[in-house]
Amino acid sequence: MVFKFATFDPTQDPDDFNYAFPQSSASSPSAVAATICQPCDYNDGCIRALVSRLVVAEPGERMLKLKDRPFKYGKLARITRNFGTVLVEGGSGNVYFGALEDGTEVAVKVFFCFSTRGSTEFQAKAKNLRAVHHENLVPLLGYCDGTKTKALIYEFMDGGNLRQNLSGDRANFWTWRKRLQIAVDVAQGLDYLHHDCDPPIIHGDLSAANIWLNEKMQAKIADFGISAFEPRALDSHPTCPLGTPGYFDPEFYPYSRSDRKSDVYSFGIILFELITGQPAVTRGAVRNVFLLQWMTPIVETKEIHMIMDPSLQGKFNIDSAWKAVEIAKSCTRPTGVERPDITQVLAVLRQSLAMELASQCCHSEVVY
């Protein structure tokens, strides 16, 4: 492979670059430069991802990385092509598709409203969230803290979100095993936020719309920590609602507070969506129908085939399915003290998945 090289001067406006070039105290700004491998015009090109691992060839080597400085609004408009493609319309803001100059695809969450306490706290919280890494969390790449615009920039997941998948034709090909694996993925991400982060991170707005799937159909949680940016979390005079209808914790609604058990409640609703294929809220001409209200009398019938998504065509291990239904019921109990911790939920879901896998190996009632 043939390469040509381009040298960039980091004394230029940092907003013109996708990467930051930190300066050493021993070097003057004009003396610091970084050499980056770029594809020639006449070959297939090199892997741009390598840029993130290239090292400046100087004493005191510095690793290239996505910049810690915020994106300016003008750059946000450029990478989203003036916010032309809406991926998700959410309660706290819309998510737009974008692409950085190096081709990296991103999802840009733009808040409808935000705290009036200024940018210092927003920047601090955004930088803290950038340090959170787990295989079941969507990576946060950057942020915008303009006077009139606050936004978070995430890595784009090209598998779509869970709500889109469950409401589309793709869900018809999802086996019970695949649904359980997605539930385990989400529970693992939530368990990490609750128990492995210091301080613990409460999601505060967990829903099927912010569970994203990558090209391998691995589930990742987005918008984690978003509640920390909401005016209800930061201001004494809130102006915006917090949370998504259908996922609100009834113990705290309408006060828009949340805790770990609130996240568990929202997770229980998502689990019921995976089980039934139904959305958290079905819009009606006269009134909306909430999934939990619809589910409760059906679960009491003890007829598992009335509960499970018809598109599964009965192809599931009954014991595995019941275990998932029972833990979803526990997650959605009226008060937090009645609900299990997400670590307990994860353990039960792993058992349910193991049952399903064992039934496949034994060629029992499931034929794939």
Distance from CA of residue 11 to its chain's centroid?
35
3-state secondary structure of 109: strand
**Would you state the pLDDT for residue 45?**
36
How many residues are present in the chain?
Answer: 368
**Closest Cα partner for 280 from 290, 294, 267, 295?**
290
Architecture in CATH for domain 73-155? 2-Layer Sandwich (3.30)
Residue 119's φ and ψ, nearest 5 degrees, are -85, -20
**Would you state the pLDDT for residue 349?**
99
**Would you state the pLDDT for residue 15?**
40
**Would you state the pLDDT for residue 302?**
87
Residues annotated as part of the active site? 205
**Would you state the pLDDT for residue 78?**
95
**Would you state the pLDDT for residue 254?**
65
Burial-class residue 124 by CB neighbours within 10 Å (0-12, 13-18, 19+). Answer: exposed
Whether the model clears a pTM of 0.85, i.e. scores above it, the answer is no
Identity at 308, one-letter amino acid code? M
Q: How far apart are CA 320 and CA 176, in angstroms?
A: 9
**Would you state the pLDDT for residue 51?**
29
Architecture in CATH for domain 162-361? Orthogonal Bundle (1.10)
Please report, in tens digits, the pLDDT of each residue of the chain (368 residues total): 444 333 333 333 334 333 333 333 343 333 333 323 333 333 333 323 322 332 333 333 222 245 556 889 999 999 999 999 999 887 678 899 999 999 999 999 998 766 555 567 778 888 888 889 999 999 999 999 887 888 999 999 999 999 989 987 776 779 999 999 999 999 999 999 999 998 899 998 899 999 999 999 999 999 887 665 544 444 444 445 557 889 989 888 766 678 999 999 999 999 999 999 999 998 877 788 889 988 888 988 889 999 999 999 999 999 999 999 999 999 999 999 999 999 999 999 999 999 999 998 875 444 44
Q: How far apart are CA 327 and CA 283, in angstroms?
A: 26
The string of DSSP codes covering 145-210 is E-SS-EEEEEE--TT-BHHHHHHSGGGGG--HHHHHHHHHHHHHHHHHHHHTSSS----S---GGG
Domain range list for the chain: 3-66, 73-155, 162-361
Tokens 């001067």 — which residue?
A: 9
